[in-house]
Amino acid sequence: MSEPISRRTGSWKPDDTATEVLEKIERHQARESAGEGLMRVIERRSDGALMGWIGIDRLADQPDRGVIGYWLGEAFWGQGYAGEAAAAILAEAWSALGLESIEAGVHPDNLASLAIVRRLGMTPIGERMTFIPARRTEELGLYFEIRRPPASP
């Protein structure tokens, strides 16, 4: 986790300890076991390189709605991996979590993530200030959503 990556995430700090990372993994495993989320590492198919992390969490106050988040190591930026991983986890989340919609919050200057949410077919739903635990501050985010696709006959 580097400073440029952390600057774009809400909960990953560049100085997270191994213990803190393990606690995050355990928390997300418990949420997944309870049907409250999906968390996956992003791995390169060609050689198994660990590239990043992606997940969808059910919103506690809106159980039919989820939020997607992800990050990639800098060496993997600009190669389409995040978009591919996002499309894959969206497809899995509809059935695994039974969600009706999934939202994404994007930092206004994160052009790569803005392009990804648009390619996924997400539509703008507004902007809002959000507390960012990694930086312990309120920040402006642009928000997008995608609705569950209609069932195939």
Euclidean distance between the first and the last CA atom of the chain, given in angstroms as a whole number: 44
* Residue 131, Ramachandran bin (φ over 0: left; ψ between -120 and 50: alpha; else beta): beta
Q: Distance (Å, rounded) from C-alpha 46 to C-alpha 128?
A: 39
Q: Distance (Å, rounded) from C-alpha 96 to C-alpha 5?
A: 28
Q: Which domains does the chain have, with CATH numbers?
A: 3-147 (3.40.630.30)
Q: Distance (Å, rounded) from C-alpha 103 to C-alpha 14?
A: 25
pLDDT in tens, 78-108: 888 999 999 999 999 998 999 999 999 988 8
What does pTM read for this prediction? 0.80
Residue for token digits 């507390």? 131
Identify the pLDDT of residue 2: 58
